[in-house]
Amino acid sequence: MLNLKSRHFIAGTITSMSMLTAGVAIAAGPMTVYKDPQCGCCEQWAEAMEAAGFKVDIRDEADMTPIKTRFAVPAEMEGCHTAVIDGYVVEGHVPLEAVQKLVSEKPDVAGIAVPGMPAGSLGMGDDPKASYDVYTIAKTSGAAATVYYKVRPAQ
């Protein structure tokens, strides 16, 4: 049986670990997610961000074209929905880990993107066997995208 000091230590450790896990999301500003009102996968993605601790404001948009234009999302980087957080664009089904990396590292990019709707990506089945890349969106129009984060099956 655990004594009172041991219980307090364990409870404190668990609380600290929980705060560290959510710390990245809590340190970030609010996230605005623009999505088609009929899109369930976008809703799932936004719910996952919210569950991770981000404050999410969902904006339903019947026509996403003006949103993509407003945030200068290159056509080849377009995904299902567009989110904005801390001045960065997060385009498409970007995994939670890549969003956390973005807001913690604050790279010199306009944002990150997962083009299209890859099977197994967050909101599209969240399959641990999924394999796809997250790309940068450069601040300069026409600049080449680079791989920012790789999603690969666990070995």
Return the CATH number at 48. Answer: 3.40.30.10
User: Do 81 and 45 touch, CB atoms closer than 8 A?
Assistant: yes
pLDDT classification of 110: cutoffs 50, 70, 90: very high
End-to-end CA distance of the chain: 39
- Confirm whether pTM is higher than 0.75: yes
pLDDT at 141 over 60: yes
Q: Which region among 14-23, 79-88, 114-123, 126-135 has the lowest average model confidence (pLDDT)?
A: 14-23
Number of compact structural domains in the chain? 1
Cα distance between residue 80 and residue 15, in whole Å: 36
Cα distance between residue 100 and residue 31, in whole Å: 12
- Tens of pLDDT, residues 81-93: 999 999 999 999 9
Q: Which region among 15-29, 40-54, 81-95 has the lowest average model confidence (pLDDT)?
A: 15-29
pLDDT classification of 154: cutoffs 50, 70, 90: confident
pLDDT at 13 over 50: no
SS3 state of residue 132: strand
Reading the block at residue 26, the tokens are 């809590």
- What b/e sequence results for 91-104 when a residue is b if at least 16 CB atoms lie within 10 Å of its CB, and e otherwise? bbbbbbebbbbbbe
- Tens of pLDDT, residues 123-135: 999 898 999 999 9
142: domain range? 4-151
Q: Which of residues 46 and 28 earns the better pLDDT score?
A: 46
State the average pLDDT for the chain.
85
Could you give the percent of the chain with pLDDT greater than 70? 83
